[in-house]
Amino acid sequence: MQKSQSRLIELDFFRGLVLLIIVVDHIGGSILSRVTLHAYALCDAAEVFVFLGGFATATAYAALAERRNETIARSRFLRRSLEIYRAFLVTAALMLLVSAVLSAFSIDGPNLATTDLDDLMDTPLAALGDILLFRRQPYLASVLPMYAFFALLVPMILPLARSKPWLLLAGSVALWAGAPAIVAYLPAAPDMHWDFNPFAWQLLFVLGVLARCQPVYQRASAHRLSWLVSLLALAVVAAAAYYKLFIEHEPLDASLKQNLSYLRAVNFLAIAWLVANLIQFGWARKLAQWAPWVGEIGRKGLLCFIAGAVISLVVDSVLYAATDGYLNYPLGLLADAIAIGALFAVALGVEPLKRAAGRLYGGWLRTSP
């Protein structure tokens, strides 16, 4: 089938690459995760994925509005919010199911949703209600409530991004600045919290939208002093890498990620500027054409995120049990290969399975009385 011409193969490639990185980053004994973004930066793949999500949303919204109209584009993203909500419920259920199965086989991984399982057994109606209301977000399902929130805001964000970009940016920065004070008011069950404060992380989503709707990079890079921006970005990236590699080896405080601290945001923006400079040479398009299967993961982003969450939890838990939590290079590399291979299998295998199921169902209808 011919791909939509509104899609950018570079965008699909980067989204697919980030999903692959997210999978290995959530495997504690992964060897590849020792050289991914979080190893030498104050940010990680989450910042990249949210920014690209904003960029992709603006691309899809503009294409739909041009092909149909604004009303249909707005309603599509309201439905998208419901789709993401359903994906959250599916992911939460899978996290609980996988945790229960692994526990039954005495595989006690460090990230199993055992607390949620215990609460579900003790007070099933209350625990289920908490999940339905986002008050409880089992492991790795916690990013999806934030995306559902973003999808709801798309009909308001996109028109502002095109007509009043500075107003949108000012409002987004103000909301991000006040986000740490707002997080306490997000719905949460006792002893539970949101891993991602949507009022903070909306900043990167909005920046992604603005980068697609306005020629921000084109104008900035065309300025005669743009080399100073590149030099500053390089200095920020180098300083962050030096800090992570030679000074602070322990994970940063979780609240810095929850509320998208300025350190993470600035480090990401510096990396994004340098990558944008490299993209101008066409290397991203060449990579996307050379490895189209990576872009296939990006095109099936929501499905691959759910599958990746399950793959990460299973592989992480089994690897932890096999190594007693110690780093093991051969088994770690094997775990990476299995996780990456499984995600590729999902992305590349879903369409053939759908076609086979369609043929099977069509044949059954023709032969049934």
pLDDT digits (tens, 9 = 90+) for 263-283: 999 999 999 999 999 888 888
- Strand, coil or helix: 5: coil
Intra-chain end-to-end CA distance of the chain, in Å: 33
Rounded alpha-carbon distances, angstroms, from residue 103 to 108, 268, 280: 6, 38, 49
Residues 6+ apart with CB under 8 A from 9: 285, 288, 289, 292, 295
Question: What is the per-residue pLDDT for 7?
Answer: 60
CA distance 70 to 31: 46
Domain assignment of residue 27, given as a range: 14-367
**Residue 139, domain member (yes or no):** yes
Total residue length of the chain: 369
Average pLDDT over residues 32-60: 96
The closest alpha carbon to 138, from 114, 113, 158, belongs to 113
pLDDT bucket at 365, cuts 50 / 70 / 90: very low
**Chain segment 182-203, per-residue pLDDT in tens:** 999 999 999 999 999 999 999 9
pTM, two decimal places: 0.93
pLDDT tens digits for range 14-29:
999 999 999 999 999 9
When pLDDT is cut at 50, 70 and 90, the band that residue 347 belongs to is: very high
Q: Give domain status of residue 149, yes or no.
A: yes
Check whether 358 has a pLDDT greater than 70.
no
Query: Please, are residues 154 and 77 in contact by the beta-carbon 8 Å criterion?
Result: yes
pLDDT of residue 353: 72
In a domain, 3, yes or no: no
Which positions ≥6 away from 43 have C-beta within 8 Å?
Answer: 37, 264, 265, 267, 268, 271
Assigned domain for 210 exists = yes
- Whether 5 has a pLDDT exceeding 90, the answer reads no
User: According to the model, what pLDDT value does residue 252 have?
Assistant: 82
Share of the chain above pLDDT 90, in %: 81
Decide if 331 is inside a domain.
yes
- Residue, of 8 and 293, whose pLDDT is higher: 293
pLDDT reported for residue 2:
35
Calculate helix-pair angle for 124-132, 70-104, nearest 10 degrees: 150
Place of tokens 């980068």: 211
Domain annotation covers residue 133: yes
- Two tokens at 6? 């509104």
Gap between the Cα atoms of 78 and 75, Å rounded = 5
- Indicate the number of domains in the chain: 1
Helix axes 283-290, 262-279, angle to 10 degrees: 80
In a domain, 4, yes or no: no
For 218-255, b/e burial (b = at least 16 CB within 10 A) is eeebeeeeeeebbeebeebbeebeebbeeeeeeebeee
* pLDDT of 3 higher than 60: no
For residue 166, tell me if it sits in a domain: yes
Categorize the per-residue pLDDT at 128 as very low, low, confident or very high, splitting at 50, 70 and 90: very high
